[in-house]
Amino acid sequence: MIHTENLSKTYMMGDVEVQALRAVDLEIKDGEFIAIIGPSGSGKSTLLNLIGCLDTPTSGAVFIDGIDTGKLSENGLAEIRREKIGFIFQQFNLIHTLNALENVALPMFFAGVGRETRIKRADELLAKVGLGDRMYHKPSELSGGQQQRVAIARALSNDPEVVIGDEPTGNVDTETGNAIMGILKGLNRDGRTIIVVTHDAEIAAYAGRTKRMRDGRVLD
């Protein structure tokens, strides 16, 4: 499904060169649930952004379904993100002027899905994550855990093959975090590839495989 070859990323902070990622080789199989664990600054979020085509590497390559994403145009990268990958962010990234149903339906609008289909699927997805009775509430009217459930439903809106979570339990309490990981575990049982980055070993334990990172490198 996904593999990286000699993947590196360097940022400039003023006059200082920072190597966020150093020659990472990683293979993620179709239908796998993998956790990438490491402390802040280890490079795990950078790796996730490159795998998810949200950023481009300084050197090396990311392959998705055999496609070298480095050779794609901006439109090609946008198509990969829209059709193959669903993102769940630590900060939720919901639009606060829209209710839960509208937030979940929005990616389908950009994919050209008709309104009736968008609303029906958003309704079904919110019910799936246990928010069927909160779909008309705006983010400010929802708890952190409920907002993250909306974010999960939104990530599934275009039926992606891969769901990527960047510290998806980072802003919720332990009980809610476990519930969110239970949802992701269920999605994996349904056949989706799940990639989660975390600094929490208990969260990583939900995955079928764990990779550790430090100083921009994958250690094991």
Residue 18 lies in a domain: no
Residue 139 lies in a domain: yes
Q: Quote the CA–CA distance of 47 and 212 in Å, as a whole number.
A: 12
Residue 67 lies in a domain: no
> Is residue 9 pLDDT above 90, yes or no?
yes
> Is residue 74 pLDDT above 80, yes or no?
yes
Whether 94 contacts 147, CB under 8 Å:
yes
Q: What share of the chain has pLDDT > 70, as a percent? A: 100
> Is residue 220 pLDDT above 80, yes or no?
no
Residue 20 lies in a domain: no
Rg (CA), the chain: 17
Q: What confidence score (pLDDT) does residue 171 get?
A: 86
SS3 per-residue string spanning 53-85: CCCCCCEEEEEECCEEHHHCCHHHHHHHHHHHE
Q: What confidence score (pLDDT) does residue 34 get?
A: 97
pLDDT in tens, 90-129: 889 999 999 999 999 999 999 999 999 999 999 999 999 9
> Is residue 59 pLDDT above 90, yes or no?
yes
Whether 41 contacts 214, CB under 8 Å:
no
Question: pLDDT-based confidence at 205, cuts 50/70/90?
Answer: very high
Question: pLDDT-based confidence at 145, cuts 50/70/90?
Answer: very high
Q: Which domain covers residue 181, as residue numbers?
A: 30-56+72-212
Q: What confidence score (pLDDT) does residue 96 get?
A: 96
Residue 180 lies in a domain: yes
Beta-strand relationship, 85-89 and 162-166: parallel
Q: Which residues pair with 195 in a beta bridge?
A: 34, 164
Considering only CA atoms, which of 154, 162, 148, 157 is closest in space to residue 195?
162
Q: What confidence score (pLDDT) does residue 90 get?
A: 85
Q: What confidence score (pLDDT) does residue 170 get?
A: 87
pLDDT in tens, 16-42: 998 999 999 999 999 999 999 999 889
> What is the average pLDDT value for the chain, to the nearest integer?
94
Number of domains in the chain: 1
Residue 64 lies in a domain: no
> Is residue 1 pLDDT above 90, yes or no?
no
Residue 4 lies in a domain: no
Residue 103: CATH number of its domain: 3.40.50.300
Question: pLDDT-based confidence at 12, cuts 50/70/90?
Answer: confident
Q: What confidence score (pLDDT) does residue 13 get?
A: 84
Residue 10 lies in a domain: no
pLDDT in tens, 177-188: 999 999 999 999
